[in-house]
Amino acid sequence: MNKPLINDIAINAEQADLIEGQGYQVHIVRTSRRKTASMKVEDGVVSIVVPKSLAHERIQSLVEAKHQWIIEKLAIYQASKPASEKHYVSGEAFPYLGRNYRLKVLQGELKGAKLLNGRMTVTVPEPEAQRHYVRKSLENWYLRQAQKKIREKVERYRTVVGVETGVIRIKEFKSRWGSCTPYGDLEFNWLIVMAPNRIVDYVVIHELCHLIHHDHSPSFWKEVERVMPDYLEHKEWLKEHGHRLGF
């Protein structure tokens, strides 16, 4: 419904390493699916996707050749990004299915976000200078949880609603939490898992009921109420607090 989705290629410390540039770091992603190298700067993160066997020295040369381009892209990002209430430092709280988990940023070899002992942990080589990696790791973690949890809920509630579903996608939305097609395909905004668990249930039930009624007619809301008698409470919560979900 809002906030950008994460990159197609997630940051994975086990498949990548870093090149130190002049004032920035370049994240190397090796893959057997590419025969040529490509570079991108997204959300302040510089990455280069390269064939798995490409020599490190060659990658270094490619990065050096693109130095001015990288600097310009990073400058544009810094000038255009909105002010954020989050600083991605230890102690900040991040919600997941109705509970707040404190962030713990550790120093060491780059590792993605994990939920351990009631804390959200992320490991980066330089915590103070690499908050963009902390943010990206958290986004990747939320996307993975959304893919798992939302699919579980669709499977649970589709039989209650009495519908068959098609493809289920977890993606970015600018102005809504979910959508459906007449063919049974469902799409959900991954940020919804930052809401309480029953709010996620409501969004899933809402979209499933649209497979019966493709509008917001009284018949549609009656179907939602049949499955979730207290849906109005969750609908109002989402209307009042939904804009706060995100990074």
Please report, for the domain that includes residue 237, its CATH number: 3.30.2010.10
Q: Rounded CA gap, 171 and 244, in Å? A: 18
- Residue-averaged pLDDT of the chain: 86
Per the structure, the complete domain to which residue 103 belongs is given by 93-141
Same domain flag for 134 and 155? no
| Same domain for 187 and 118 | no
The answer to whether residues 136 and 173 belong to one domain is no
pLDDT at 202: 97
Give the whole-number percent of the chain exceeding pLDDT 70: 90
pLDDT band at 80 (very low <50, low <70, confident <90, very high): low
Mean pLDDT value of segment 34-57: 87
46 and 74 inside one domain: yes
Tell which of 57, 80, 103 closes a domain.
80
Domain shared by 156 and 227, yes or no: yes
Residues 62 and 129 in one domain: no
pLDDT cut 90: percent of the chain above it: 54
Residues 233 and 209 both lie in one domain: yes
Exposed e or buried b per residue across 138-171, where buried means at least 16 C-beta atoms within 10 angstroms of its C-beta: bbbbbbbbbbebbbebbeebbeebebebeebebe
Same domain, 234 and 188: yes
The verdict on 203 and 127 lying in the same domain is: no
Domain count, the chain: 3
Report if residue 8 sits inside a domain.
no
> Has residue 88 been placed in a domain?
no
- Which pLDDT belongs to residue 130? 86
Query: What integer pLDDT is reported at residue 221 of this predicted model?
Result: 97
User: What tokens does 72 get?
Assistant: 């310009």
Domain co-membership, 18 together with 72: yes
Provide the pLDDT for residue 68.
87
Reported as a pLDDT band with limits 50, 70 and 90, residue 139 is very high
pTM (2 decimals)?
A: 0.67
Residue 50 lies in a domain: yes
Say whether both 162 and 127 belong to one domain. Answer: no
* 5, part of any domain: no
Between CA 87 and CA 9 the distance in angstroms is 24
106 in the same domain as 75:
no
pLDDT surpassing 60 at residue 1: no
Residue 92 CA to residue 101 CA, distance in Å, equals 8
7, part of any domain: no
pLDDT computed for residue 209 by the predictor: 97
75 falls within a domain: yes
Q: Would residue 162 count as lying in a domain?
A: yes
| Domain assignment present for 229 | yes
Strand order in the sheet with 111-116: 93-96, 99-107, 119-124, 111-116
Q: Would you say 237 and 245 are in contact if contact means Cβ atoms under 8 Å apart? A: no
